[in-house]
Structure 1
């Protein structure tokens, strides 16, 4: 009887993890359509292909290298051995965390869209997932006792270890800050600014596709956050409601600050969800609402600032959306997680601040090393002719709407 109950619990955990993995996997379709709806029509095929190819490459490198670095687990035993331990739970746990790891190149893709070489960027994404991301993941969630473990130096310094329940910092901040480096090294798209520095905005191409991408990400985020509990016994409704309130806060604040702009509104939802990942299991729903709302302000104002003042051609605004909002999420966990503000009190502001800033340093250093090296070896940018033609034709030899071209000659 006891054995049957244990088997049932294990089976439930395997199913729970598998469903979470599938939900977060579906988010990658959201990344794809968010980019498709933002870039020009001549680069829409490329956006779709990049996301699915990057996910596939990440699967291989995370399986063979990254997961071992982060958790010290290898998958080279027989299939019989792999399923013997908790009915293959470690396998679906890998699948779940793979979908997190693969978000790194998906995030970067939106920042450097429309001018990056396909294969060079695929290689860059593989290197980030295999080494930079997995190293930091291991420091927070895995076997490398440095930031997030009870015995880490940070736990001794701040009283509590660095806490990132579902990846505000580990996933989003890392991806967003690496993307910033890519944007800087690549430079702006042709025509984005004139020789005199005058801005020539490139409009969003398809609001319905952008909105579809946002909706797909919002729905999948409940797998991202809630199922980070990793087991049925660990799941809590607090995470689900905090995710909801942060998303709503992001939407409403973006609505006001962004003056009804649909791009800001749909990305405001994502900014709120990015920021709440870290403390979704720690803060009160009202705190989550303001965490998400402040993240939306960060995105709207940050996007305008980087485009108009810094002249950074970050196409989807992934640096403020994921990088800065992710950093804010890590720090906000240490603020709103305190009992004085209705939180559970299991976090330290000092630890959250230090851990969040270390992530920025790791991302920026690895980003420059990888992009500068690849640029010197192979070049990371399309030629002027290829960029003007569009990556759909220059890379994939097919446009998103070929029938329109055919109709010109019929």
Structure 2
């Protein structure tokens, strides 16, 4: 028994470390996409957002989602009291889930890059992870408020989101859309003399993608949260969805390196929800559709809607995550080679409901923020760059 508990602690700890490393991927993906005068800001805010998000989740958020608080002595927390598993398993579970929760502000950061003040956005991140995120997390992953039971009784199955296509990615993407709309475009992006801004570094952008892809196998596979529950099916489906996203994005995106690297992420976002259900060929298809959604969605958002979503986080996380939640109700069915136990109607209703909740909550949050503590940098600060305006140092101080 003790050996099994120790294995589970180590298993989930490794998963937490892998997902924590993904935050470096978020940072470098943003660093490579933004202009050179905003690179330092990209690195600092991802790290600081993670710190404040973890604190908010520890003090408030985790108790909202799971009804567990950490205001006990160390002996109790490490397994000596009711409600806490042996050898500190409950603590590494918190660490693992905290890295998921903190991914949401990292997603939003990419959407509002180059024009967000530092401390107002840190506060917004803490509110999101302390209040907005755990409310839906408790419903999706802890069956709070009886909503999952109602879905099962009404439509024949509970809402299935194994590793967070909806609860992490769609929620983050739709929150980001609200933030981007409330904040408005960067100075010089649109208008009579408006222009697209080229990425500062394709190599840094690519490094961010590689870090995210590597960590994603911890994100998905270790969502089993026990050695006994782990499945190689999740690993191969994650791989195939990533491959499908890359292939679709490089073809549809006409070999554009930004589209190609983000295509890998699109496939991985979409497969999270049903990665424990799909046949590998279904995962390939889910990832390929996501790659197309990202390429078309990014172009449509930027050029037609004129929404200045810098990293394309709404199409990448919001739309591909929404597709992933719905796809679990299609390709997860036994008739299509899946494991079964899902309902298309439940997946559609749940996916749309969480996405709508995220957009509404984000719109209210950033409306309040703009009213009492505006998040947007001034035009002059944007021209100067967030690095010098906020941190008083550039990415290459020697030069």
CA distance in structure 2 between the partners assigned to 1:20 and 1:314 by the alignment: 30
* 2:310 is the counterpart of 1:328: no
2:171 maps to what in 1?
174
CA distance in structure 1 between the partners assigned to 2:249 and 2:166 by the alignment: 22
CA drift of 1:43 comes to 0.3
CA distance in structure 2 between the partners assigned to 1:369 and 1:253 by the alignment: 36
5 Å-filtered alignment, 1:185-224, equals 185-194=182-191, 196=192, 199-224=194-219
* 2:43 is the counterpart of 1:72: no
CA distance in structure 1 between the partners assigned to 2:235 and 2:212 by the alignment: 15
- Conservation of the 8 A alpha-carbon contact between 1:199 and 1:308: no
2:369 to 370, 374, 388: 374
5 Å-filtered alignment, 1:8-407, equals 8-84=3-79, 85-147=85-147, 149=148, 152-194=149-191, 196=192, 199-404=194-399
2:82 maps to what in 1?
none
CA drift of 1:365 comes to 1.1
- 1:139-161, CA deviations, whole angstroms, 9 ceiling, x for partnerless residues? 000251444x4xx2111111000
Q: Report the 3-state secondary structure (helix = DSSP H, G, I; strand = E; otherwise coil) of the residue aligned with 1:280.
A: coil
CA distance in structure 2 between the partners assigned to 1:308 and 1:82 by the alignment: 52
1:408 maps to what in 2?
none
RMSD over equivalenced CA pairs, Å = 0.9
- 1:262-315, CA deviations, whole angstroms, 9 ceiling, x for partnerless residues? 100000000000000000000110000010000010000000000011000000
- Conservation of the 8 A alpha-carbon contact between 1:248 and 1:292: yes
Number of equivalenced pairs: 394
Mind listing any 5+ residue stretches in structure 2 that lack a counterpart? 80-84
- 1:365-405, CA deviations, whole angstroms, 9 ceiling, x for partnerless residues? 1101110001000111111111110010010010001111x
- Conservation of the 8 A alpha-carbon contact between 1:132 and 1:362: no
TM-score of the aligned structures, taking structure 1 as reference length: 0.95
CA distance in structure 2 between the partners assigned to 1:157 and 1:305 by the alignment: 37
CA distance in structure 2 between the partners assigned to 1:11 and 1:186 by the alignment: 47
CA distance in structure 1 between the partners assigned to 2:213 and 2:362 by the alignment: 28
- 1:108-151, CA deviations, whole angstroms, 9 ceiling, x for partnerless residues? 0000000011111111111111111100000000251444x4xx
CA drift of 1:340 comes to 1.3
